[in-house]
Amino acid sequence: MLSNSSMRTPLARVRGLGSAKSGTGHFWLQRVTAVANVFLALAFLVIVVSLVGKPHPAAVATLANPCVAILMLLFVISGAVHMRLGMQVIIEDYVHSEGLKIVAVMANTFFAIAVGAACAFALLKLSFGA
């Protein structure tokens, strides 16, 4: 026998609307990328400060080091993901028109992908010496 002690309204039960079940994953991904960004940003700053005053070939040689290139690539990826998640939360909280919200979240995603891809391309091009 089914219990009718659900807190959902009959209309909500019929529509099947409820929790999207993705809030926890979003929350943890934002926190994990934030922690990763702390360490990766420190590595980025150390690398940039070590290159201050050096000529372009020295910067290319530094970025050609696989460890440095991987650290920088991780920084770009983690930063782009964190940026997208943070802006998505802001859009969802402050944009009240449903249509505009969908367009803004899509534009945010495309922008984050474009920035990440451009940075990754530049890093890979420098690291492979092309």
pLDDT at 66: 94
pLDDT at 129: 77
20 within a domain of the structure (yes/no): no
pLDDT at 70: 96
- Angle 115-34-103 from CA coordinates, rounded to 5°: 45
Instruction: Please tell me what DSSP assigns to residue 53.
Output: T
1 within a domain of the structure (yes/no): no
90 within a domain of the structure (yes/no): yes
pLDDT at 18: 57
Taking only the tens of pLDDT, the chain with its 130 residues reads 555 566 667 766 666 655 666 678 889 999 999 999 999 999 999 999 999 999 999 989 999 999 999 999 999 999 999 999 999 999 999 999 999 999 999 999 999 999 999 999 999 998 887 6
67 within a domain of the structure (yes/no): yes
Give 119: exposed, middle or buried? Use CB within 10 Å, 0-12, 13-18, 19+: middle
Count of the separate structural domains present in the chain = 1
8 within a domain of the structure (yes/no): no
Domain that holds residue 120: 25-127
pLDDT at 91: 96
pLDDT at 8: 67
10 within a domain of the structure (yes/no): no
14 within a domain of the structure (yes/no): no
pLDDT at 26: 87
CATH classification of the domain holding 34: 1.20.1300.10
65 within a domain of the structure (yes/no): yes
